[in-house]
Chain A
Amino acid sequence: MNEEQRLAGELKERTYRLFGRSLHIRTFDSGSCAVCESEIRLLSSPYYDLHRLGFFFTPAPRHADLLLVSGPGVRAADTALLKTLEAIPEPRIVLAVGACALGGVFAEDELVHGRVDEVVPVDVYVPGCPPSPLALLHGLLVAVGRLEEKVEVLRFDLREEATA
C-alpha cells in the first residue's frame, strides 16, 4: 500500500508539474447527443471561466495536452478518434465524460462500442448526464492533480443518523 501511495503521489506530482497551471484541451465528440458538448461549452462562459484555472480549448491536437471524449464510442468515428489521440504529443491525458462514454447507456452493437475506453485508454472518468460544468471542472482538476478524488470515500448508503 505504501508503495502504491508513493507511486500515486509521484504521479500526481509529475502531472501537476507538467500541466498544473496550463492545460490545453481538445474535445472529441464520439457520437454524443451534444448536451455534454453544451456543458463543455459553458466552461468558457464568464460564470465558470476555465481560463482563470489555466485551462484552454484548442482545436489542434498537436497543441493539446488533454483529450476530452464524449459520446458512446460510435464505430464510424474510431479512425478519427485514434488519429486525434495519436496526433496529441505525449505526455497526454484522456478524459471520458458523460454516462455514454463510461458505458451503461448504450449497449455494444455493430454501430457503437458502448464505452470509449474500448477505443482509447482513459485516464479519468467523469460521470454525469450531462456532467455539469462544475463536475467537469472537478474532473479536469483531478486529472492535473490539483484536486483529490472524492468518490472513493463518498457513501451513497444513508443510515438514520445521516439524515439528521
Chain B
Amino acid sequence: MIHAAAICLVAGAAAWLVGVAVGTLARRSGGVFGAATASATGGAAAAVGGVLVAVHGEGAARTIGAGNVVGAVTLRLDPLAAVFIAVLGIVALAIGLYVPRYHHAGAGSAWYLPALNLAFFASLAVLVAGNAVVFLVAWESMTLFSYLVVLRHHRRAGVARAAFLFLALGETGFALVVAAFAILATQTGTLDFAGMAAAAGHVSAGWRDTVFVLALVGFGFKAGLVPLHIWLPEAHPAAPADGSGFLSGLVISLGVFGITLFAFELLPDGPPWWGILTMGLGAVSAVLGILYALMERDLKRFLAYSSIENIGVILTALGGAMIFNAYGQREIGAFLLLAGLYHVVNHGVYKTLLFLEAGVVEHTTGTRDMDELGGLIHRLRASAVITLIGTLGIAALPPLNGFVSEWLIFQGLFQGFRIGNNFVGILIVVAGASLALTAGLAVMAFARAFGIPFLGMPRSRGAAAASERGQPLVGPGLLAAACVGLAIGAPIVLTVLDRVVRATSGVEIHSRLLLPQLTVIPAHTDFAAFSPTYLAVFLLCVTAVPLLIYFSSRPRGATQIVPVWDGGILEFRARMQYTATTYANPTRVTFDELYRPEFHLERASDDPAGRSGPVHYGFRVMPIFERFLYRPIVRAVERLADLVRPIQSGDVNLYLLYLFLMVLVAYLIYTY
C-alpha cells in the first residue's frame, strides 16, 4: 500500500510540473484548461496518495544522494503529514476544476497558473520532506510561489502592499523556523527528522524550550496566530479567489503542520507550559478572530478573519493535547490531536469552498461588499445551495462536518478534570469557554455572511444583475459533497485518523473512540456519546416526515394564496432591510472597548432626519496590533537602521578600510 501511495504522490507532483509547463501556454484558453486539468489531476492523485499513507498507518523514508555537498535529500511518507497531503489534494482538485471558468486566457494567466502549480508542488515537497534542509527549501519556495499567487492582480490598488506584507511576515517566520531547526540540528547532531526525534530526549530542557518557542512563533506567522496574523486580512482579498482558497485551505494549515511537527514528532513529551501557551494563543486567536470578522463588510476579509478563528480552534485542540500528554492522560491527548487534525481537514474543505464561492459572487455582481449584495439566492441558485452547505459546515451546525470536529474538541477539553492539577484544569475550562463563545459568535457571523448577500432583496444594481451562467459549479460542488461526506462518514474518517494518531504518538484509541453502532465516544466510555451518521439520518427524517404528511393529505377547504403580511406598508424597498453593519451592531456595542471604532458622520445639512440630503456614516475598527505592536517595532528597526547607516557612506576608501579590518580580525581569531 505504501508503494501505491508513493506512486500516487509522484504522479501528483509530476502532474503539477506538467501543469507548470502547460500553464505557460495560458495565453490561449486551451492553455488555461490544460493547466487546470493538470492541477486537478495532481490534486486527485495527491489526495489518494495521502489517504493511502494515512490508512497504511506507518511511515517510510528514503534518502537520495547521501554524502554530497548540499546534503542528502530525504523524503518521507509520514501519516501525520499525509493528512495534510490529503487536504492539499482536495484543495488542488477543487481549484483545478474551478480555474477554467474563473481565469481568462491572457498574459496574466500565463505566469499565474505555473506559479499556482509550483505552489502546489512546493507544498507537497514541504509535506514529504524528511530532513531539515529539504523542508526549509520547500518552505521558502512555497512562500515565494504563494507570494506570486497573491500578486495575480498586481496592478490593482493595495495588492502589492498586501503581498509584500504576506512575504515580509512569512520571511520573519521563516527566519525563526531556520533558527529552530539550526539549534535542534546542532544539538542532536543530525538534520534528518527521524534522527532528531530519536535524539531529542538528550537535548537539554533549555534548548528544547527555545526551539519550541521559536517554532511556535515562526510557524505561527504562517498559520495566522494572533498577534502574528495581520497579513491574512490583507492578502486574502488581494489574491484571486482560488488563490485565497489555497492560502486559507492549505497554506495556513501548513503552519499548523509545522507546529505539530515540532510538538508531536520532533520534541514529543514537552512540559505542560508548552501546551498551555499553545492553547492560550489558540483561544485568543479564536475569540479575536471571530470578533474582528463580525465587523467586516468585505466578504473575503471576513473569511480571512474566520480562518484566523479556525486556526485558533485547531491550536486550542493541539495545545490541549499537549497538556493532557504532559500530565499522563495520553488517550485524551491522542483524542485531542485527532480532533485537531479532523478540524484541519474540515477547515481545508469548507474554507476553500467559501472562498471559491466568494469569487463567484464577486465575478457575477462586481462587488465583495456585503452591504451591496442581496437576493442572490434567487439568481445564483446552485451556488447558493453550495454556499449554504459550506456555511452550515463552518458554523458548526449539525449534522455537518464542522459540528463533528468541534464536538470532538469540546468533549476532549471538557475532560480537563481528569488532570490532577486544578489550576491547569481551570485554564482548560477557560479555553473551552472561549471556544464556546467563539462558536456562538461564529453562528451569528455566518448567519450574517450568508443571510445578507443571499437572502432578501438586492441592495445594488450589480447584485440584481447577477446570473449563474458561466460560473464554476463543479469544484465548489465537490467540496460541498465532501463536507457532507466528512460528516456522515465520520466513523470512517475517525478510523483513518486514529491510525495517523497511533503512528504519531503511539497511542491507540480506536476501541475507545468508536462503538460498533457508529457512535463516537471521547476516549472514555462513561463521558459522552454521539453518532454523526444517525444524527444526519434523524435530522433528515425530522424534516422529511412532516413534509410527507403535508403533501400526502389533501387540505380541506380551498387554499388561498395571499400576499405576505408586511405590516401594511405601501412598498417594500431594499433600503429597508438590515445591512451587515446593522446586523453586527449589537456585537460592536457590546465589545466597544475592544474595537474602539472611529466614527465619521457627514450630513448635507443640520436636519437630523436627513431630509435635505444624504447622511454618510462610517466607522473603522481600531487596528490594535498594527498600531501597538507592529508600528513600534517597525519604527524601532528604522531608527536602528538610521543609526547604522553611516557605515554605508559610499566612500570606496572607507570600504577598503573595512576589508582590511575584517582580514585582520579573521587572522587574529584564526591564530588564537
Q: Do chains A and B touch in the complex (CB under 8 A)?
A: yes
Chain A residues at the B interface, C-beta cutoff of 8 Å? 60-62, 79-81, 83-84, 86-87, 89
For residue A59, which residue of chain B has the nearest CB? B567
The answer to whether the Cβ of B528 comes within 8 Å of any Cβ in the partner chain is: no
Bound-complex Cα distance A86 to B563 (A):
9
Bound form: Cα–Cα A87–B563 in Å: 8
B565 close to chain A: CB less than 8 A: yes
- A84 vs B560: C-alpha distance when bound (angstroms): 16
Question: Given B562, B569, B570, which contacts A87 in the complex, CB threshold below 8 Å?
Answer: B562
Determine the residue in chain A with the shortest Cβ distance to B566. A83
Q: Is B420 an interface residue (CB 8 A)?
A: no
Q: Which residue on A lies nearest to B570, using beta carbons?
A: A79
Enumerate the 6 nearest inter-chain pairs by beta-carbon distance, A residue then B residue, closest first: A80-B568, A83-B568, A87-B565, A84-B568, A79-B570, A62-B565
Best-buried of B560, B565, B566, B570 by chain A (most CB within 10 Å) = B565
Which residues of chain B come closer than 8 Å to A81, judged between CB atoms?
568
| Contacting residues, chain B, for A84 (C-beta < 8 A) | 568
A80 touches B569 (CB 8 A): yes
Interface residues of B (CB under 8 A from A): 560, 562-563, 565-566, 568-570
In the docked arrangement, what's the CA distance between A8 and B570, Å? 38
Provide the residues of chain B in CB contact with A83, threshold 8 Å. Answer: 563, 565-566, 568
B556 to chain A, nearest CB (A): 14
**Sample of 20 A–B contacts (CB below 8 Å):** A60-B565, A61-B565, A62-B565, A79-B568, A79-B570, A80-B568, A80-B569, A80-B570, A81-B568, A83-B563, A83-B565, A83-B566, A83-B568, A84-B568, A86-B562, A86-B563, A87-B562, A87-B565, A87-B568, A89-B560
Residues of B within 8 A of A86 (CB): 562-563
Contacting residues, chain B, for A89 (C-beta < 8 A): 560
Q: B562 — nearest CB in chain A belongs to which residue? A: A86
How far does the alpha carbon of A81 sit from the alpha carbon of B568 in the complex, in Å? 7
CA distance A83 to B572 in the complex (A): 13
Cβ-Cβ contact count across A and B, 8 Å cutoff: 20
Expressed in whole angstroms, the minimum distance between the Cβ of A73 and any Cβ of chain B is 15
Nearest CB on A from B567, distance (A): 8
Give Cα A79 to B568, complex, Å: 7
**Complexed CA–CA distance, A61 and B569 (Å):** 14
Give the chain A neighbours of B570 by CB distance below 8 A. 79-80
In the bound complex, how far is the Cα of B565 from the Cα of A81, in angstroms?
A: 12
Residues of A within 8 A of B565 (CB): 60-62, 83, 87
Chain B residue nearest to A87 (CB atoms) is B565
Residue of B562, B566, B568, B570 with highest tally of chain A CB at under 10 A: B568
Q: Besides the contacts A83-B566, A84-B568, A87-B568, what 17 more A-B pairs have beta carbons closer than 8 Å?
A: A60-B565, A61-B565, A62-B565, A79-B568, A79-B570, A80-B568, A80-B569, A80-B570, A81-B568, A83-B563, A83-B565, A83-B568, A86-B562, A86-B563, A87-B562, A87-B565, A89-B560
CA distance A89 to B360 in the complex (A): 43
Query: In the complex, A62 Cα to B567 Cα: how many Å?
Result: 11
The residue in chain B whose Cβ has the minimal distance to the Cβ of A89 is B560
Closest to A61 in B: B565
Residues of A within 8 A of B566 (CB): 83
> What CA separation (Å) do A79 and B566 show in the bound complex?
12
Inter-chain contacts of B563 with A (CB < 8 A): 83, 86
List residues of chain A with CB within 8 A of the CB of B560.
89
Closest to B568 in A: A80
CA of A79 to CA of B562 in the docked complex: distance in angstroms?
A: 15
Nearest chain B CB to A108 CB, angstrom units? 22
Bound CA span A147–B588, Å? 56
Taken together as a complex, chains A and B put the C-alpha atoms of A120 and B373 apart, in Å, by: 39
CA distance A79 to B560 in the complex (A): 20
A84–B565 Cα gap in the complex (Å)? 8
User: Which B residues are CB-close (under 8 A) to A60?
Assistant: 565
Q: Which residue of the partner chain B has the closest CB to A81?
A: B568
Question: Which residue of chain B has its CB nearest to the CB of A85?
Answer: B568
Q: Closest CB-CB distance, B563 to chain A, in whole Å?
A: 8
Residues of B within 8 A of A80 (CB): 568-570
A49 to B92, CA, bound (A): 70
Nearest CB on B from A163, distance (A): 50
CB of A69 to closest CB in B, whole Å: 13
Chain A: minimal CB distance from B3 (Å): 68
- Tell me the complex Cα distance, A57–B563, Å: 23
B562 cross-chain contacts in A, Cβ below 8 A: 86-87
A109 to chain B, nearest CB (A): 21
